[in-house]
Amino acid sequence: MRRWFNLNEVDSQLTPSVVAIGVFDGVHRGHQDLISRAKDVATSKGISLIAVTFDPHPRGVVGSNPPLALASLNFRLTLLERCGVDATLVLPFNKELAALSPDEFLKKVLVDHLKAQHVVVGDNFKFGYKAAGDTNYLS
């Protein structure tokens, strides 16, 4: 599995992909189901599956109580690889990333860098400045 630790490391010649986004803290059964759904889409389209995760946990940057880590970043990456992910982008979650609007996040991360054709997220997924983007926004 390829591992990228910021957007600059992503292959500029990347082909279209299916992207699964989440913190994936522990890669529990719900995460495994989400990744399995994304893998099914990627397989049916004949394209790669890329996971996007964040480090540190977003609540540690934008919230007052950062959650305890269920697994180290390295172990999370190993679990994602075992689930069949082709590549993982670990976005450094910082104030700059938190300040991106939903449109900026979609364009900069998903379209320009990851060439996303399909995005799979959990039902309560939020993204962009002040969590303004959600699953309805993605559709």
d(CA 16, CA 44) in angstroms, rounded, equals 13
Residue 129 lies in a domain: no
Tokens of 13: 């010649």
Instruction: State the pLDDT confidence band at 98, using cuts at 50, 70 and 90.
Output: very high
Is it true that the peptide bond before 16 is cis, omega within 30 degrees of 0? no
Instruction: State the pLDDT confidence band at 55, using cuts at 50, 70 and 90.
Output: very high
Query: Average of pLDDT values for 85-110?
Result: 97
Tokens of 28: 């529990």
Residue 136 lies in a domain: no
pTM listed for this prediction: 0.94
Check which CATH number belongs to the domain holding 49 and give it. Answer: 3.40.50.620
Instruction: State the pLDDT confidence band at 70, using cuts at 50, 70 and 90.
Output: confident
Residue 7 lies in a domain: yes
Instruction: State the pLDDT confidence band at 1, using cuts at 50, 70 and 90.
Output: very high
Residue 132 lies in a domain: no
State the residue for tokens 């979609």. 106
Residue 54 lies in a domain: yes
Residue 137 lies in a domain: no
Domain that holds residue 78: 2-123
Output the average pLDDT for the chain: 94
Residue 50 lies in a domain: yes
Residue 25 lies in a domain: yes
- How many domains does one find in the chain? 1
